[in-house]
Amino acid sequence: MDGCRRIKVKEYVADCGTLVLGEYEGKLCLCDWLTEKHHENVKRRLKRILKAEFEEDLTGMTIEKATRQLDEYFAGRRKTFDIPLLFVGTDFQRRVWGELLKIEYGTTISYRTLAHRIGMPMAVRAVANAAGANSISIFAPCHRVVGSDRSLTGYGGGLDVKKALLQLESPLLFKD
């Protein structure tokens, strides 16, 4: 594998599930829930576009910083992140993912609102698909996007994880 580009990866275990963190050239390109189907699709896309291979148990400075910030987030002490991110996808996907970064901690928006925010109000389904393809969960908070009726819909980590994250951020709005 010498001479090959590498995506350094490390698992991160949270109370609500296991994430895989990935770093490429000093930027976080992966923070994905370890769920079989979704995670495999994300891995294939990253490998293909970056022309890189995954290498486990390598820890870079970005992964270490991401780990510390996730610890603080799950302890309720962090509401924003300052990790350099690398979005790997189409121009449209990157546009949607960039807009996810603007959704404030403890709030939610609908897929319809997200579509309006990127100037494509008729592209609700495409926006939902792009949000679902997000490979940098939590840092690009796709869990904060809900259905128009405020229902919890689709999430790479599963709806139980989405609900747990929303409860962490806004316990009064998302109580059992």
Q: How many whole angstroms separate alpha carbon 152 and alpha carbon 148?
A: 10
CATH code linked to domain 91-169: 1.10.10.10
Given this model, what pLDDT does residue 155 score? 79
**2 pLDDT exceeds 60?**
no
The one catalytic residue among 16, 29, 31, 142: 142
3-state secondary structure of 159: helix
Residues 40-55 pLDDT 10s: 788 888 988 999 988 8
Which of 153 and 93 is assigned the larger pLDDT?
93
The model's confidence at residue 114, banded by pLDDT at 50, 70 and 90, is: very high
Among the residue ranges 2-11, 21-30, 116-125, the one predicted with the least confidence is: 2-11
Contact 139, 12 (CB under 8 A): no
DSSP string, 44-64: HHHHHHHTEEEEET---HHHH
**CA angle in degrees (0–180, nearest 5) for 43-144-44:** 5
Q: How many whole angstroms separate alpha carbon 104 and alpha carbon 102?
A: 6
The model's confidence at residue 169, banded by pLDDT at 50, 70 and 90, is: very high
Round the average pLDDT of the chain to a whole number and report it. Answer: 89
- Domains of the chain by residue range: 5-74, 91-169
Contact 97, 74 (CB under 8 A): no
* 31 beta partners: 21, 136
Backbone angles phi, psi at 22, to 5 degrees: -135, 140
Residues 57-108 pLDDT 10s: 667 799 999 999 999 999 999 999 999 999 999 999 999 999 999 999 999 9
Residue spans of beta strands (DSSP E) within the chain: 5-14, 17-24, 27-33, 52-56, 109-110, 145-146
3-state secondary structure of 71: helix
Whole-model pTM: value is: 0.89
Is 142 among the catalytic positions? yes
